[in-house]
Amino acid sequence: MATCLAGCCKPAVFAAIVLWIPSLPAQSVSPVPSAEVGVIRCSASSTPPLVRGEGMNELVGDILLTCHNAAPASGFEPRGYFEADLSVSLNAASSNRTDYGLGPTVTDAVLVINGKRCESVGADRRFTNCAVGNMTVQDPVLARVEPLDSSRLRWDGIAIPIPGAAIGGENSMAEPVADCSGRIGVEGGCHPWTTTIRLTNIRVNAAQMGASVEPSTAAISVKAHLSLRSPDVPVQLDGSVLTVAEAARGIRVKASAPEPDRLCSHLEASVEVTVAEGFAYAFKTAPKASVRPGDPGWEESYYPIRGGGGGSGLAALGTRIRIGLSGLPDGVSVSVPTTVACPGPATSGSLSLGLVNGADQYGLGGTVASGQPIERSVPTSAEDGTAVWYEVARADPLAVEYCRIPVKLTRSAGSAEMLQGGEVTVTASLAPAGPRLAGQGVRFVESNPSPRPRIQLNNCGTSLFFPFVTNRNNFDTAIVITNTSADPLGSRFQAGRCRLQYHNSNAEGQVDLVAQTSVELQAGKNLAFTLSDGNVLQGVDAVTDFQGYLVAECGFQHGQGFAFVTEQINGAAILAQGYLAEIVQGSRDAGVTANEP
């Protein structure tokens, strides 16, 4: 196909960017206008930022095209611009917003020509006087996304000023200019010798790259493949494959173990969960409003369409952090401080966190605490675990920061039963998570690094196994259980009840399980009873006609047990045998595994 302008027929040309090469130098001679159009040569570049590998709509680096009218003249262009189609194909899905009322394919990725950053943008070409010196350059234009290919953004029919050409607008023709000196960018003069095209606010689903899964995963490049074509003039585009971002893990976590046995002896213990940025500026504060692409706060804003039904478009939240604790024993509650000041220089930019109260399951909504820290309980669930939400209140964008969050574990008040310990798994993810809805800002997937930090909690109790007890056929069994947590060896005094479970069959061969609970046994005291008589004062009832085994679960550590089986005839013991109970589930040393931040 050929398009004829001013009597000169020029073929349609398609150009694809390959690699970055240096831009052509600006003309060093006196500014003589490019009254005739040659080959428009553009070069592409981008400065790739680190983006969060957990993010579903991370902002990649701007793409800058720098264009010159570089080849021999081929004809005068009276409009002063040429039309072109530009597209960007990414190796991850585009996640730009499409809810502006301009159609389901219109996104908030913006193309800006010669720095004309109007507050009003649209999906089609428009020329308005929104900036001095740019009245003949089209307004910023929004990209469209391919309906069947969410990784491709395109701008169709954009108006690109011909570098150095006489200025002509949408409704006005240009007249050749003999000398552009002092007349660059003004009506009746010439366009600048270099035309710039900036593609900004391009967002991608970086979580598809897989950088957040394993601790050792290196950053993964987000690539952009550019294409430029024009039906009007020959165009050459250098640098078609660009790295526009590097996706890396945005958060790391480790956890410390509590002081051994403190939860048992003092009914409370503290662990420390440390969350750290994977790289500088992974934790972001709530953004400030920005109505122009490239202004401060733009990197966290969504471009507002004035008069187009778009609203403010501002991402209202700072980065939120979800701390999860799963595997907590029944009867243990959790409390955390409302605010956390993190290590670092005493400056206003040092990292600090505020507890979010009332957030939903995704980490949205609620109120963020501020001021001096206050200890606050958080809901716990044995099935779903415990989720604690914090929001970044302050952060230093130039430093990799971390924060130690004290988490207090409390055993239920008045509980004297045996507390079953075990492994508590700690997770930390960027939030909000879950599906991204219209106007709700950034989203993250839950990071799933392996191995996850695990905290070992001791059993707060002793399980004693008596393999043979009986009160049949003239036999009886005496049981003594001693709370030895009072000793000169540094043990902490503990008190607790013993739950007695008798196992085996009765005289008729039926399976029988008898369970009862004693009174609270103080440190240094004994629980003593016989199967035939029990011990009413210590809360133990008699168990008649029984033969089997006994398991005693006592709510104190360092318990010991002794059984004494006797055969009695006419009240006299004629056979006796004693044995020590086996401790089948004693306390274990606390331990922890962790991913280093």
Which positions ≥6 away from 264 have C-beta within 8 Å?
Answer: 411, 419, 458, 460, 461, 492, 494, 556, 557, 587
Contact 449, 527 (CB under 8 A): no
**Would you give the DSSP letter of residue 314?**
B
Compute CA distances 166 → 157, 158, 235, whole Å: 20, 18, 19
d(CA 356, CA 369): 6
Q: DSSP for 462-477? A: EEEEEEEEE--TTEEE
What pLDDT, on a 0 to 100 scale, did the predictor assign at position 74? 58
Question: Mind listing the pLDDT tens digit for each residue in 30-66?
Answer: 455 655 678 899 999 999 999 999 999 898 999 999 9
- Quick one: pLDDT band at residue 294, thresholds 50, 70, 90? very low
d(CA 43, CA 33): 21
Compute CA distances 477 → 396, 539, 568, 574, 575, whole Å: 70, 17, 11, 14, 12
Q: Could you tell me which of 380, 24, 426, 394 has the C-alpha nearest to residue 256?
A: 426
What the block records as the tokens of 333 is: 């509650």
Q: For residue 371, how many other CB atoms are within 10 A of its CB?
A: 8
What pLDDT, on a 0 to 100 scale, did the predictor assign at position 51? 93
What the block records as the tokens of 379 is: 């809901």
d(CA 459, CA 587): 5
Q: Could you tell me which of 485, 486, 488, 467 has the C-alpha nearest to residue 477?
A: 467
Question: Mind listing the pLDDT tens digit for each residue in 367-402?
Answer: 999 999 999 988 776 556 788 999 999 998 889 999
Torsion angles phi and psi, residue 438, rounded to 5? -55, 130
d(CA 339, CA 346): 16
Question: Mind listing the pLDDT tens digit for each residue in 412-462?
Answer: 755 556 777 778 889 999 998 877 655 567 889 887 666 788 888 888 888
Question: Mind listing the pLDDT tens digit for each residue in 198-216?
Answer: 998 899 999 988 877 665 5
- Regarding predicted confidence, which is higher, 528 or 545? 528
What the block records as the tokens of 545 is: 């006609």
What pLDDT, on a 0 to 100 scale, did the predictor assign at position 190? 84
Q: Domains, the chain, ranges and CATH?
A: 2-248 (no CATH), 251-284+319-459 (2.60.40), 462-585 (2.60.290)
pTM of the model: 0.77
What the block records as the tokens of 344 is: 């670092």
What pLDDT, on a 0 to 100 scale, did the predictor assign at position 22? 40
What pLDDT, on a 0 to 100 scale, did the predictor assign at position 209? 86
Question: Mind listing the pLDDT tens digit for each residue in 92-138?
Answer: 999 888 876 788 899 888 898 988 877 667 888 888 877 655 567 88
Mean pLDDT over each residue of the chain, to the nearest integer: 80
Contact 161, 81 (CB under 8 A): yes
- Quick one: pLDDT band at residue 246, thresholds 50, 70, 90? very high
d(CA 288, CA 308): 21
Provide the strand spans (E) within 129-238: 141-146, 149-161, 195-200, 203-204, 220-230, 235-238
Q: At 265, which helix (H) or strand (E)?
A: helix 262-265
Contact 553, 499 (CB under 8 A): yes
What pLDDT, on a 0 to 100 scale, did the predictor assign at position 298? 45
